Amino acid sequence: MKGRNPFKDLRVRKAIYHAINMPLIVDKVLRGQGTPTGAFLSTLVDGSPAELDKRLPYDPARARQLLGEAGYPNGFSVPLDCVNIAWRENVCQAVAAMLTQVGIRTTLRSSPTGQFLPKLTQASTSFLEYGWTPAPDAWNSLNALFRSHDRTGTGTFNAGRYSNPRLDALIDGLRVEPDLTRRRAMVSTALRLVADDLPYVPLYRRTLNWAMQKNITLVPSPLDTLELRWVRMK
């Protein structure tokens, strides 16, 4: 509807979540090279609660119901921005088709990385898909993705300009909290707040694959980068 932002309504965000059959996408589009997830950070990140990894169920009927309750019984139209890397683009294509089936008429708009990233950092798009590789400590990820955006560098990748003062206070506290037990509790609380508010819709964790000749050994990095210092040639 003109003048309204449907994504500000939690019911719309939940409708999007219920409309996406992530296990099917992982199986058919990613050929099994991924894991559907309901978590925003891997459970290997210190303080990330394991129970948050469970996704909301795929339920298109519930998605349509939620859209109606939010005031969009006939749905709405929106472009989906995606980087034009083949497997990412294919996932976006599948997501767009599933959303269209429940009334969110989604048009895929792919672009190269150089054009896509400014849309992300400058918040110049309505709806987009992107991924994140976390560090073992949660602060950097929480600060970049969920902290309110400002010119000091917080919320750099907060593309929707989501803002939650309670969450901001937790993230700022994490930056200076030295006690590991308290840090874990703060991370857990922050991620539960995000799970309740759904500023993003979680999708999947990608499986990283490495191939090498028999005369080469290396230590694979969970950051999906090749560090030459860990490579050995026989």
Stated as kind and residue range, the H or E segment containing 34 is: strand 34-36
Average pLDDT score over residue span 198-203:
97
Q: How many CB atoms lie within 10 A of CB 116?
A: 22
| Residue 136 or residue 74, greater confidence | 74
Q: Percent of the chain at pLDDT above 90?
A: 82
**77 bridge partner residues:** 105
Contact 23, 54 (CB under 8 A): no
Question: Token digits for 23?
Answer: 């296990």
Average pLDDT taken over every residue of the chain = 93
CA-CA-CA-CA torsion sign (159, 161, 165, 168): positive
Residue 57 has pLDDT above 90, yes or no: yes
Residue 21 has pLDDT above 90, yes or no: yes
Average pLDDT score over residue span 42-69:
96
**CB burial class (10 A; 0-12, 13-18, 19+) of residue 162?**
buried
Q: Residue 31's pLDDT band (boundaries 50, 70, 90)?
A: very high
Tell me, what's the pLDDT at 115? Answer: 95
Residue 90 has pLDDT above 90, yes or no: yes
Tell me, what's the pLDDT at 2? Answer: 62
pLDDT, tens digit (0-9, with 9 covering 90-100), for 158-183: 999 999 999 999 999 999 999 999 99
Residue entry with tokens 């200076």 = 176
**79 bridge partner residues:** 107
Residue 1 has pLDDT above 60, yes or no: no
Tell me, what's the pLDDT at 226? Answer: 79
Could you give the 3-state DSSP secondary structure of residue 141?
A: helix
Distance CA 56, CA 74 (A): 23
Tell me, what's the pLDDT at 179? Answer: 95
| Residue 203 or residue 224, greater confidence | 203
Q: Which of 121-125, 147-151, 184-188 has the highest mean pLDDT?
A: 184-188
| Residue 214 or residue 171, greater confidence | 171
